[in-house]
Structure 1
Amino acid sequence: MTQSTPVPVGHFRTGRLAEGRPHALDAWRVTTDDAEVAARVASLLGGQPQPNEGGGELAHEVLTKVETVRVLMDGPDAVAAHMILWGSKGILHQCDGLEFLSPEEKKGQPCGCPPRFEDRRLAAKEGRGPMPSINLTFRIAAEPGLGEFRFMTSSWQMAAQLSDLTDALEQVNGPAICDLTLELVVYTTKTGRGVCYRKPVVRVLGSRDTVTTEPPPLAEPTPAPAPSQLRRKARPTPEPTIPSAMESSHSVSVSAALLRQAAEVLGTAGHEETVIAALSEVVAGRQQSAELVRLREQVGKIAAIAEQVLQGRDSSLT
């Protein structure tokens, strides 16, 4: 899908250059040529306007303090997506997954891309096929008069969800309130190597009549786990039982020696940090971020229970 839109007042980005090397960020970075826009973005999303030294042609950047921004997307036409394969002299292949969009002499002809999404991804990884090129156009919901922003990504995860996203936007009568999020993904490969990264996610919440335009409360982004927190033992250990909200008032038996050992493995300091890291390790391999959100609400209670048990069993730790 394509859309003719005004020149955006700024761009949302997931990384920046530092000392000539690209770095992924835990929070959104916004670039703009308008100093007033930069100042207003900083007041809405945190951070400070500064000269853009992180890459790109726009003059100002704001390293915001949030991983989620509430935005306003004007229907499915706010999403533009196609597939591109670049060569040393420019675009070699541009299509919509079915037909060529360029070069001109091939426009409208079958592009030859594999029908299966997994095969397309493999072809791109091997340099034989195009990558996704996704362009989202939106306004910051709390201040739509600031102007339109854009976010461009080649995320395969977002490409796989585009159909659901455009369907959800079409079902909303008019502009849709959405949350644009840099979602933390943590997992362990089959070889035991810990991996973490952030993927862009759009969640359609509803219309302005049913959903508040106020942004989520400002909070520091969830930090990516340190390398020591991604290490796994070669010998699998049983997963601990995680109390539900209904069980959180019951006592929990915790071995002081085991907690000390877990702290050494995870590289943590303090009982609560160890509990958080351990629970994150367990959940990341199963239900990932959705379950982590639930656990954050319970971890304070779990840590307090563990602390009480330790006070009774090993006074040297208190």
Structure 2
Amino acid sequence: MTQSTASRVGRFRQGRMSGTRPESLATWRVTTDDAHVADRVARLLGGQPQPNESGGNHSDEVLTERESVRILMEGPDAVTARMLLHDGRGVVHECDGSQFLAPPQVKGQPCGCPPLLQDRKAVARSGRGPMPSIDLVFRIAADPSLGEFHFQTSSWNAAEQIPHLLEELERVEGPAVCDLTLELVIFTTKTGTSVCYRKPVVTVLGGPGTVPSEAPRPTASMPAPAVPSVPRTPARRPDPSPPPAPEPPHPFDLDPRLVNRAAQALGTSGHRETIIAALSQAAETRQLTAELDRLRDHVKRIAAITGQALQAGGSSS
């Protein structure tokens, strides 16, 4: 499943760099070197063409208004899935999870990776094993003549989908209409922390003659799908004074040691997944931020009461 990059007119992305820090997005971002492609993408998916200031080899970008885009995929050959391990010299391990894909002298031989995905994650987290490298090639279903786009990800969630995706694409027997979605995930870790992030999901819908080329957008008569609610603390009577404004999310530096600690605290696996979860938790869930602010107030009050009690105990002794 090797693809040529020569005909690709743009790339779909689920984030961007904000200064020196990554930023997770709730809608698709498309980058390209073709001004006509950028303008057409904006007309199809919303947003405005603008210079790409996040770096990379594309000059223009469109931050679209869509979290889900209907696409056309040309069967299983539209998917490239590998496991890669890099070091300072470049790629030192390339396999499909069971056999080496390169270099030629070991191609086809057992690669030694654990058979279970959870075990592969653990080895990759330690720096001794490869990470997923997935590349999807497709056209926008509403305008296939615009050209081929692609989406690259190292998500373990996406890697887990690949066998099912290949099976579904094979079943269609030709071009398949799919939805490429940034799906919102909300869950509670083992430590009780509520986390949310968006994961890329491909849903195969059928052949071009059986599915509309564009997904219906939510309207007043057709509400958007409900998002699972974040667990709330018991309601309390409002204070007579207006509540303080929530504090803005605090930026963090990409220190690998801190990211590893964050992964342990959040119950996530992989640096990318941890960063997306942390950023999404701060940027996408205002309700959760408000709950954390209220919890912070409770902690401050408990600390003040405890301090007073300790002072009273000291003065009486």
- Residue matched to 2:49: 49
Residues 4 and 124 of structure 1, relative CA distance in 2, 3 Å threshold: same
In the alignment, the residues of structure 1 paired with residue 226 and residue 153 of structure 2 have an alpha-carbon distance, to the nearest angstrom, of: 22
Number of residue pairs matched by the alignment: 238
Letter in 2 for 1:82: R
Q: Partner of 2:205: helix, strand, or coil?
A: strand
Q: Which moved more, 1:48-57 or 1:139-148?
A: 48-57
Q: Which runs of 5+ in 2 are unaligned?
A: 247-317
Q: Does residue 40 of the first structure (1) align with residue 49 of the second (2)?
A: no
Q: Partner of 2:120: helix, strand, or coil?
A: helix
In the alignment, the residues of structure 1 paired with residue 186 and residue 27 of structure 2 have an alpha-carbon distance, to the nearest angstrom, of: 16
Residues 164 and 56 of structure 1, relative CA distance in 2, 3 Å threshold: same
In the alignment, the residues of structure 1 paired with residue 14 and residue 224 of structure 2 have an alpha-carbon distance, to the nearest angstrom, of: 13
Residues 131 and 73 of structure 1, relative CA distance in 2, 3 Å threshold: same
Q: How far is the alpha carbon of 1:194 from its aligned partner?
A: 1.7
Q: How does 1:1-318 map to 2 (within 5 A)?
A: 1-4=1-4, 6-217=6-217, 233=233
Q: Partner of 1:65: helix, strand, or coil?
A: coil
RMSD, aligned CA: 2.7
- On the 8 A contact 1:69/1:216 being kept in 2, the answer is no
In the alignment, the residues of structure 2 paired with residue 34 and residue 78 of structure 1 have an alpha-carbon distance, to the nearest angstrom, of: 22
Q: Which moved more, 1:145-154 or 1:167-176?
A: 167-176
In the alignment, the residues of structure 2 paired with residue 64 and residue 16 of structure 1 have an alpha-carbon distance, to the nearest angstrom, of: 13
- On the 8 A contact 2:39/2:48 being kept in 1, the answer is yes
- On the 8 A contact 1:26/1:223 being kept in 2, the answer is no
Q: How far is the alpha carbon of 1:232 from its aligned partner?
A: 5.6
- Of all paired residues, the percent bearing the same amino acid is 59
Residues 260 and 68 of structure 1, relative CA distance in 2, 3 Å threshold: farther
In the alignment, the residues of structure 1 paired with residue 188 and residue 232 of structure 2 have an alpha-carbon distance, to the nearest angstrom, of: 8
Q: How far is the alpha carbon of 1:21 from its aligned partner?
A: 1.1
Letter in 1 for 2:198: R
Q: How far is the alpha carbon of 1:5 from its aligned partner?
A: 5.9
Q: How far is the alpha carbon of 1:7 from its aligned partner?
A: 2.6
Letter in 1 for 2:99: E
Q: Partner of 1:105: helix, strand, or coil?
A: helix
Normalized against structure 2, the TM-score is what?
0.69
Normalized against structure 1, the TM-score is what?
0.69
Residues 218 and 138 of structure 1, relative CA distance in 2, 3 Å threshold: farther
Residues 103 and 192 of structure 1, relative CA distance in 2, 3 Å threshold: same
